Chain A
């Protein structure tokens, strides 16, 4: 009973009762559903099932399909055309019976009848160039769609098929049951686009000075779509920006190019002796043993000699790639080639760079080191890199990833000069694209639906890898820099976006094609959210374990967003539903402030009102310890440095009666009491990180978990007892929560210089 009464007493005194009183009104509010920010995500998440477990791991009935390819490809350099034939062997591992297959025809995005340009709104320009006028109004423009010549059984029997823009449905002669395999043959060609002038993630760059093309080729073959337990056939059309969803399989690929080309591709080169010169073979043997320095396999001098002539001969490069989800290659007579060995988990991987002289001196300096460094960081954070090589190819204005190979921008000017923007732009894009080997090439999420699942996770690890790179290769940093200048990751860099115009912000959980500010939405915000989880909410130990668990559970499989969200909680005992809800399902932002700070001291002269409270609950007023607020009557500034037990007789007696002398000695009595009111203008719940600065200049930081907001989303209070006077309170002192308005983060409030005044005052 006593306890019950005391509870009410405390309620009253704490002010909670006061708020309850204010809420008393004659009008009854309507009822409502559960809007609590900590409500579990049962409504948003798919129900766990035998395919996908509630833990976030693949379930006992998890399956995935397999697509194996045998291809012959030829590049016609003179006409910039690609000719191909392939036999796809598709394995149905699902219990579903399939009556047709869907094949992706990505190049049809560039067909004359492509609808891609038609989904962009347009306006009349006041003027234009004659070239553009002609290409717009007078000619039909570039036609880069697939020319499908044959779709047949391996014996040549034609198959029925139908093309719906970038998707082709192939009718199966007999339905496929579980375990069935079906092989079919496709023959095609297409015009290769100029990726520099016409855009695209695949294509050629033309170099007018030496009349040569460098090709970076991908999405060049009809590719199997994914069939799975979540979406059935993932046959969402390719509009151009959204990336891919692809099944795993083995690729045997023969690529025929002019004999003077240097070529590299996804997979193991099977006929090295046929396509390498003797010198190249020797240098390659050296490179396999060189762990600290790249070895040049094809030199700049050799490349410059090659680009002066054009061989009429052809050469066929033969590759075998196992357990990959896609295929890409790069070929040119302009290429310089270097390689270095990297030991990843006891196994040697080759870090490889392919670039023309236009990329030098930057590329020979840093590309291969960036590849090696990335493999080390990502392997530490996920799993050992499972393939035998990782290639970085220099291609102007490109930044695109495929298994084992990627294209990257970063080009010095014509005199070989470059500034920090070019240098760090290049290193960052290499780290990013090589990192994509892990997400989504191996942890194979559905990019077409959820851009953030590969771009966000990858940009997060890119930040970790960039910081490692700066540490491991300090020579890459510019004078005055102590760390790698990452553009994404730290919380403060996302503030402008999250605090921006709500009309142009979409939740992260939005199909990539339909987001505004793609870069911030799918790369910056999820990367920052994960970084905040790691550094601020969960801590590195819990986060890293869980993140690694996710990567290992889903490597060489197809995860969904829930698989990620659930695993992060399952492996850490950290309920993060509130975090996913706020950061991933809404466009809310962080803004937490200090609304008020009241100072109290223990007093021997309580007011009559206060004593009355004691009496009302049946307590003798003389048995209580009383506090008085600084602005109230009875507050005595001269008692500032006195111990409360010297002020309150009641307290003094209680201590004497209940503690031994030794115990009393160990007690460091607080003298200052503060009641801090935190308010939350922002919609996101976040931990409150508070730094107290004491009168002796020392500081202490205290963190209240986000759950402090569970019963009141607008305002919470905390009492802080201290034996030193607090002279300043700062919220989020290290800018780690992405708080969009820091003017309310400091007590006592300080006149803060505006951004303009700060700039003007800095001497500019």
Chain B
């Protein structure tokens, strides 16, 4: 069968039937080949540019469901990367879910843009004019409202140190000290 719909289809709907792990308002049935609700966010601090560069990869179909819940309207993100129709909505959603606090202050980030890579949405985000980082609190709540088992993997490269951790709905933030 096509994996594109059955992995999640099978498991999810079994889960749904018993409704243990329950996505709150999600469409009952999902069909994709990732059985696995996971996102990957890479965070790199480029000191010479005073820039914190963030790349988030999310499964497009999950993300569309989340945008539907978020905006109340069905959203179909075009496979053409340069279509910016929904960029504003994507940005607003990400603002509500992805937060950074640096040395005690909430950091404002810029939405640089997005790209489509097969079945993934890739979002590019940047925090500028950042002279140093001693402490950073990273909060990533993307898709937690949709899938109880969503895991948001975060990999950081800050001050020449590589770190990696996973955020889940019961544990939404991580503090890193340098």
Residues in chain A within 8 A of chain B (CB atoms): 116-118, 120-123, 125-129, 132, 135-136, 141-142, 196-201, 240-241, 243, 397-401, 408-409, 413, 419-421, 425, 429, 432-433, 436, 455, 487, 493, 500-501, 504, 516-520, 522-523, 754-757, 759-760, 764
Contacts and interface: CB of A to CB of B under 8 A. Distances in A.
Contact of A401 (B1, B10, B38): B1
B108 interface: no
Number of chain B interface residues as a range: 35 or more
A40 to B, nearest CB: 32
Contact of A518 (B28, B33, B76): B33
B118 A519 contact: no
9 contacts: A198-B28, A400-B1, A409-B5, A420-B78, A504-B38, A516-B36, A522-B3, A756-B44, A760-B124
A415 B142 CA distance: 32
B156 to A, nearest CB: 13
B178 interface: no
Contacts of B112: 756, 759-760, 764
B34 A517 contact: yes
Nearest to B28: A197
B22 A519 contact: no
Contacts of B29: 196-199, 397
B176 interface: no
Given A241-B11, A759-B115, A132 B53 contact: no
Interface in B61-83: 76, 78-80
Contacts of A421: 78-79
B4 A425 contact: yes
Given A241-B7, A523-B3, A755-B55, 14 more contacts: A120-B11, A123-B21, A126-B24, A135-B19, A197-B29, A198-B16, A199-B29, A201-B1, A241-B11, A399-B4, A408-B2, A409-B5, A493-B118, A760-B112
A421 B80 CA distance: 9
A519 B7 contact: yes
A764 B119 contact: no
A399 B2 contact: yes
A199 to B, nearest CB: 3
Interface in B85-104: none
A198 B17 CA distance: 7
A421 B14 CA distance: 27
Nearest to A399: B2
Contact of B20 (A117, A425, A433, A756): A117
A668 to B, nearest CB: 46
Contact of A487 (B9, B10, B21, B118): B118
Contacts of A127: 24
Contacts of B2: 399-400, 408-409, 429, 432-433
Given A132-B19, A136-B19, A125 B24 contact: yes
B1 A120 contact: no
A262 B35 CA distance: 35
Nearest to B51: A756
B10 A123 contact: no
B109 interface: no
Contact of B7 (A117, A125, A398, A518): A518
B18 interface: yes
Nearest to A397: B31
Contacts of A401: 1
Contacts of B11: 120, 240-241
Contacts of B170: 123
A429 B5 CA distance: 10
A611 to B, nearest CB: 46
Q: Considering the complex of A and B, which 10 residue pairs feature the smallest CB-CB distances, nearest first?
A: A399-B2, A519-B33, A199-B13, A122-B20, A136-B19, A117-B18, A764-B113, A519-B3, A756-B53, A241-B10
B12 interface: yes
Nearest to B9: A199
A125 B18 CA distance: 13
Contact of B6 (A117, A121, A399): A399
A764 B10 CA distance: 38
A754 B14 CA distance: 41
A240 B80 contact: no
A78 B13 CA distance: 25
Given A397-B31, A399-B2, A518-B33, A199 B22 contact: no
Nearest to B31: A397
A500 B118 CA distance: 17
Nearest to A430: B2
Contacts of B36: 504, 516-518
B118 to A, nearest CB: 5
B161 to A, nearest CB: 17
Task: Tell me which of B11, B21, B54, B119 has the highest count of chain A C-beta atoms within 10 A of its own C-beta.
Answer: B11
Contacts of A142: 17
A196 B31 CA distance: 10
Contacts of A436: 1
Nearest to A757: B53
B31 A433 contact: no
Q: Which among B13, B21, B40, B115 has the greatest number of chain A C-beta atoms within 10 A?
A: B13
Contacts of B126: 756, 760
A380 B55 CA distance: 43
B175 interface: no
Given A136-B18, A201-B6, A129 B25 contact: yes
A763 B25 CA distance: 37
A126 to B, nearest CB: 8
B73 to A, nearest CB: 13
A68 B12 CA distance: 35
A200 B24 CA distance: 21
